[in-house]
Amino acid sequence: MVAVVNFTNAPPINDMIRVCAQASEGQEADFVIYGLCDPVDLELRYIGKAEDPVRRYYLHLCDSQLRRKSHRNNWIKSLLRNGAKPALVTLDRGVSHEEWQERERFWIRFARGAGCALTNATEGGDGLSNPSAETRFKCGSSNRGKRMVFSDEHKARIAAANRERWADPTWRAKMIERMASAKRGKKSE
């Protein structure tokens, strides 16, 4: 379950967050500018962008992401060691592909100006929004051939999740159809 910040107990920065969230309600979102907050004092500690902030939240907590050394990852690992997880808050919704970098930089500047001890390594807007085929190829090439090492516990969680998915008749039918349609028109060898 994702912890979401309760605006009534949060620091003053959340007044601005609430105003933006209300103003953008009902808009179709290309991107969301989100924040990760300390679950104890609700201080905003990280700001990022995502198309699906809940999925991105779980990626922040993923073992493979936490292997990289960064201020953000060290903060998240310290929370996890203490049995806590960061709280997720939506800062800005309905952010277009053209403006997400500017909006992310705005929120990072705003939060730092409000005294938040952010773990962001940069001023924001550094991610790839719509990389070219050449850029995608270069990124893929740099990872190709590297073996991912999972712990036995992680492998067991993946297997359990897959068993649970395949037990759902709706999901199973959808996947069988997807695999069948992918094979249609291909010559069998």
How long, in residues, is the chain?
A: 189
pLDDT at 127: 64
Residues 64, 8 share a domain: yes
Exposure string over 148-185, b if 16+ CB within 10 A, otherwise e: eeeeeeeeeeeeeeeeeeeeeeeeeeeeeeeeeeeeee
Residue 122 lies in a domain: yes
Which domain range does residue 162 map to? 152-183
Q: Parallel, antiparallel, or unpaired for β 87-95 and 3-4?
A: parallel
pLDDT at 33: 92
189 residues of the chain, pLDDT tens digit each: 444 444 333 444 444 444 444 444 544 548 999 999 999 889 999 999 998 999 999 999 887 678 888 889 999 999 999 999 999 999 988 888 888 889 999 999 999 999 999 998 888 877 655 667 777 787 777 777 777 778 899 889 989 988 998 999 998 999 899 888 888 877 665
Residue 142 lies in a domain: no
Residues 17, 99 share a domain: yes
pLDDT at 128: 59
Return the number of other C-beta atoms located less than 10 Å from residue 77's C-beta. 13
- Residue in 6, 5, 104 with CA at minimum distance from that of residue 50: 104
Residue 140 lies in a domain: no
Please report, in angstroms and rounded to a whole number, the separation of the first and last CA atoms in the chain.
46
pLDDT at 37: 94
Tokens (6 digits) for 70 = 């960064």
pLDDT at 30: 84
H/E element, 76: helix 71-81
Number of independent structural domains in the chain: 2
Residue 116 lies in a domain: yes
Residues 37, 123 share a domain: yes
pLDDT at 130: 62
Residues 157, 118 share a domain: no
How many Å apart are CA 165 and CA 172, to the nearest integer?
Answer: 7
pLDDT at 131: 66
